[in-house]
Chain A
Amino acid sequence: MITLVGMNHRSAPLELRERACFPEDGLPETLARFKESIGAPEALIIATCNRVELVARSADPGGTGAKIRAFLASERGFDAETLERHVYVYEGLEAARHVFAVACGLDSMVLGEPQILGQVKKAYAIARESGATGPVLDRLLQHVLAAAKRVRTTTGISRHAVSVAYAAANLARGIFDDLHGRSALVLGAGKMTELAARHLVAQGVTDLAITNRTYARAAQLAASLGGTAIPWDEFPRALGRVDIVLTGTAAPQPVLSREQVKAALRARRGRPLFIVDIAVPRDVEPEVHDLDGVYLYDVDDLQGIVDAGLDERRRAAEEAIGMLDAEVVAFDRWRQSVDLGPTIAAMRDRLHGLGRDEIARFGRRLSTLSAEQHAAVEELTRSVIQKVLHAPIVALKSSADRGEAAARARLYREIFGLTGHEAHGAPPEADAQADTQAEAKLGPHRVIQGGKDA
C-alpha cells in the first residue's frame, strides 16, 4: 500500500514549510534513513520551496502514516501537535491520485505552474538512482510523469498568463516572432518598472534604453540591467527604433502623447510598436492604441488578461482532473494485476500439492506400475490440474481490467481454501490492500490529519 504524508501551502504556513523542506544535496541519505526508519521497501521524497511530500510503499498500511510523521518530526524538529494540525495523510489510491495532481500542478499555489513537473522528475531521479524506489513507485512515477506531460499538452493548463509581467511577455510574443534580440525603451526607474524590465531581459530583450527625469537613477538601473541610459529629452527619438516601450513613471499627467507616437511611426516604416503602461495614473494617452501598428496595454488591460488566464486555468484544471481519474484507474488496474501474482501462485501450489498428496496416498496401489507408467500418471495429474486452473486464472486476470481483482482474489482464496501464509509468500499487505481497495469503491479513502481539508 502506498502512503503519503505531506505539507503544502494550504495545510501549513511558510515558516513550517521552510522547516519541513529537505535540501536536495542530502536527499539520497535522507531517503535511506526514511526507508530504514519506517521499514518500507520503497520511498520517495518530493521537496520544493512550497511543499514536502513523503511517499512510501510498505506492508504495514495501518502504521505507515504514523511512522512517516514520526520520521518527519525527528528529522525536521516538529512536535506532534504541529504535525497533527499541518500535515495531510493519503493512503492507497488517494495517495497515487495526489502524486498525479501534484505533478500536473493541480495542487500548486499557482494553478498549473509548470516548474513542479521538473521538480517531481528530479525527486524521482534522485530516489531511483539511490535505490529508494522499487517496482510499484517506479511504475507510479513513470505513469505520473507521462500523464502530467499529456495533461499539460492536452488541456494547455500552463499556457495562460497568471501574472502581469507574464501577460505582457505573452502579448509581445503575439506581435513579434521572438523576443530574443528585441529592443525596448524603459520610461521610469521605479521598483515596479525595474521588475517588469528585468522580466523583459529574462525573456530575451537585449537592447534596453532606460530614461528617467533623474538621469542618475536611469544610469543606475541601466548598469544593473545591462542597458543604456539616455536623457529624458531624447526618448521621443528612441520611439522610432525600439520594438517595446515599458513605462512606469510617477508623473501625474501622461508623458507619452498620441502626437509623439504618431510622429515616431513615420520613422518606423510600418514596424509594430508594443507599449506596456504599468503606471497609475497612466503615462500614455489611451488614444495611442488607435494608431495603426501600435498596441497599448495598461495595468487594467493586463489584469484583465491575467483574470481570464486564471479562469482558463481553472477550466483546464477541471478537464485535467477528469484525465487524472482515468490515469489513476489505469495505475490501479496495473497494481491489482500485480497483486494477483501471489494468489495465482498459491492456487497452483494448492492444487499441485493436492495432486502430489493423492499420488502419494495411492502409492501402494500404484507400486505395481513401472517408473515410466508412474511418470505418466504424475504427468496426467499435472495436466488435468493445469487445465482445471486455466479458465479460473484467465477469468481472474481479466477481472483486473474491470477493477474487480481484489474482490475476485478474495473469493478465489476462499474457494480454494488459501490462507494468508499459504498464499505462496503473499505479503500480509495483500490482504490489507484488498480491504483498502474494497473500501475505495465505497468512497474516497483519505485520512486527513492537518489543515488541508480541515
Chain B
Amino acid sequence: MAHALFLAALALLVIGATLAVIAELRRLEPLARSGAGALSAAWALQLAGLVTVAVTDGTLPMRTGPEYLLVLGWFVLSLHLLLWFRSGIRALALVLPPIAAVMVAAAHLIPTSGMQVGNGPQRGWFLFHTSVATAGMGALAVSFAMSVLFLVKEKGLKGKKPLRVLDRLPSLQTVDRIGFTALMWGFPLLTVGIVTGMVYNAELHDRIWTPGMKQTFPLLAWGMFAILLWARFSRGIRGRRSAFLSIAGFALGLLTLLGMVH
C-alpha cells in the first residue's frame, strides 16, 4: 500500500516539477497552477505513504537511506509549497521541486540498507536526531535554492545580457534575505541533529564518534555553514561568496546519504 502511494507521489512530483519549471520559464500562469496542483497532490500522497509506514511499523520511517530521502524530499516539497503560496516568489519553482523530485526518485533507486536502531532511550534519541537533522536539511535546501537563484541572477547582472528569465527572479536582496533566514533556521537544527547523533552513537557504541561518511560529512557541512555565518557576521561577506559556501555546505550535507547507503 505504502509503496503504491510513494510511486504515485513520485509520478505526480515529476509531472508537477516539470510543469512548474516550464511554466516559470515560459510565463504560463495556468500551467503554473496545474504544476502547483500536481505538487500539492504529490505532497498529500507522500504524506499518506509516510503515515502508512509509520502506522504499520510503529516508528518514523527514517531507518534507512531511502526512507530518509522520502522524508527529506517531502519536507523540501512542504517548504516549497509554503513559500510558493505565501511569499509569491514564483522562481522557487525552478529549484525546489526538482530537488524534491530527485530526492524522492533517488529513494526509489538506491539500495536499502537498514540502520541499527536500538530500543528504549536509544530509540528516542534516534528519532529525535533524525527528525531534527531532516528539518535542518530541509531549511538548508531552501538556503541552497536561494543561493542558486542568487548566482543565476547575479551572473545575468554581471554579464549584462538581458535574459527574459532574469525578470522572473526576485531581487538579489530578496533572495539573500530569504536564504539567510533559512540558514539561520537550518544551522541550529543541524547542530542539534549532530549533537543528538553523537549522543545516540554513545548510547549505542559507547563512543560519540564512529569513523565513516555518515558521521564525517555532516560535520564538514556544519563546518562550512559555521564559516559562512562567521564570515557574514564578522566580515560582512555576502553575495556570490556566501552563495558558494551555502551550496557547498548543502552538497556536503547530502553526501551523508552515501554513508547511509553503504
Contacts and interface: CB of A to CB of B under 8 A. Distances in A.
A308 B172 contact: no
Interface residues of A, number: 26
B239 A272 contact: yes
B162 A174 contact: no
Interface centre among A289, A292, A305 (most CB of B within 10 A): A292
A159 interface: yes
Given A272-B173, A289-B158, A174 B236 contact: no
A270 B237 contact: yes
A271 B236 CA distance: 8
Given A268-B236, A269-B236, A270-B238, A297 B160 contact: yes
Interface of A: 153-154, 156, 159, 171, 173-177, 268-272, 289, 292-293, 295, 297, 301, 304-305, 308-309, 312
B117 interface: no
A289 B159 CA distance: 10
17 contacts: A154-B29, A156-B27, A159-B167, A174-B153, A174-B171, A175-B157, A176-B172, A177-B171, A177-B174, A177-B177, A268-B236, A269-B238, A270-B238, A292-B240, A295-B158, A301-B160, A312-B164
B164 A295 contact: no
B162 A308 contact: yes
A156 B164 CA distance: 10
A173 B160 contact: no
Interface residues of B, number: 25
A292 B241 contact: yes
Contacts of A292: 239-241
Top 4 nearest A-B pairs (CB, nearest first) are A269-B236, A270-B238, A308-B162, A270-B236
Interface of B: 27, 29, 153, 157-158, 160, 162, 164, 166-167, 169, 171-174, 177, 232, 235-242
B171 A171 contact: no
A293 B162 contact: no
Contacts of A177: 171, 173-174, 177
A153 B162 CA distance: 20
A293 B160 contact: no
Nearest to A298: B160
A293 B176 CA distance: 12
Given A173-B171, A270-B236, A312-B164, 20 more contacts: A159-B167, A171-B157, A174-B157, A174-B171, A176-B172, A177-B173, A268-B236, A269-B238, A271-B238, A272-B239, A292-B239, A293-B240, A295-B157, A301-B160, A304-B160, A304-B162, A305-B160, A305-B162, A308-B162, A309-B162
